[in-house]
Chain A
Amino acid sequence: AQTVTQSQPEMSVQEAETVTLSCTYDTSESDYYLFWYKQPPSRQMILVIRQEAYKQQNATENRFSVNFQKAAKSFSLKISDSQLGDAAMYFCAYRSRDQGAQKLVFGQGTRLTINP
């Protein structure tokens, strides 16, 4: 079974600075998807960024980018120019490409605080 680990329960960063959230995962599959979800105080789960394991190029969405290291099974999220609205819980998630295993497997989450 796949597992996802986020070793940083809490992180904080100054507004406008850059912060990196860590995520490692364990799988025996060679092809899969990785995601970062944001959960603000409203509790809504919002997809931030997605990475397909067969793509070597790291995904980027505006101020959000990932560092995907397949051999190390590492998938970190970098937030540049942090804004107050980035304050939230961030969850790393894994999903198999197997059509019979579409569930998301989540890490424990990292609570990000933005200091003004």
Chain B
Amino acid sequence: DSGVTQTPKHLITATGQRVTLRCSPRSGDLSVYWYQQSLDQGLQFLIQYYNGEERAKGNILERFSAQQFPDLHSELNLSSLELGDSALYFCASSVGIGTLAGNEQFFGPGTRLTVL
């Protein structure tokens, strides 16, 4: 158990709908990362938040948005869903943004999204 929790574990929805994925980082971790794992794109970085502020953006679609709340949990919002958005969405957390100790990222169990 990495200490990172993600809910829900599975989500099945229809095209055009909107969903919210939730992530709680490890205790003490200030940085949260979102990754998407799909069959055709592999594992891709979406976005990073540090202590409530957006830190870095990757290949995140405009239909997707995220935020990190004062209690440090994060939510990834996916809207106008398409079939191609079906994927495993991982959240990871790390202590901070410095280089100390390699700033290891601990992954949650993921949320499997199926868009029908």
Contact = CB atoms under 8 A, between A and B. Distances in A.
Interface of A: 33, 37, 42-47, 50, 52, 91, 95, 97, 99-109
14 contacts: A43-B109, A43-B112, A45-B107, A50-B104, A99-B97, A99-B99, A100-B55, A101-B56, A102-B31, A102-B56, A103-B58, A104-B43, A107-B42, A109-B43
Interface string B24-46: 00000001010100000011110
B15 interface: no
Contacts of A105: 45
A45 B90 contact: yes
Interface centre among A45, A99, A108 (most CB of B within 10 A): A45
Nearest to B2: A44
Could you say which interface size class chain B belongs to? 20 to 34
A109 B42 contact: yes
Contact of A108 (B42, B99, B105, B109): B42
Contacts of A97: 99
B42 A52 contact: no
Interface in B48-74: 48, 55-56, 58
A109 B112 CA distance: 19
B46 to A, nearest CB: 9
A106 B104 contact: no
Interface string B75-116: 000000000000010101010011100111111011010000
Nearest to A43: B110
A102 B94 contact: yes
B43 A106 contact: yes
B56 A100 contact: yes
A105 B45 CA distance: 7
B104 A47 contact: yes
B107 A44 contact: yes
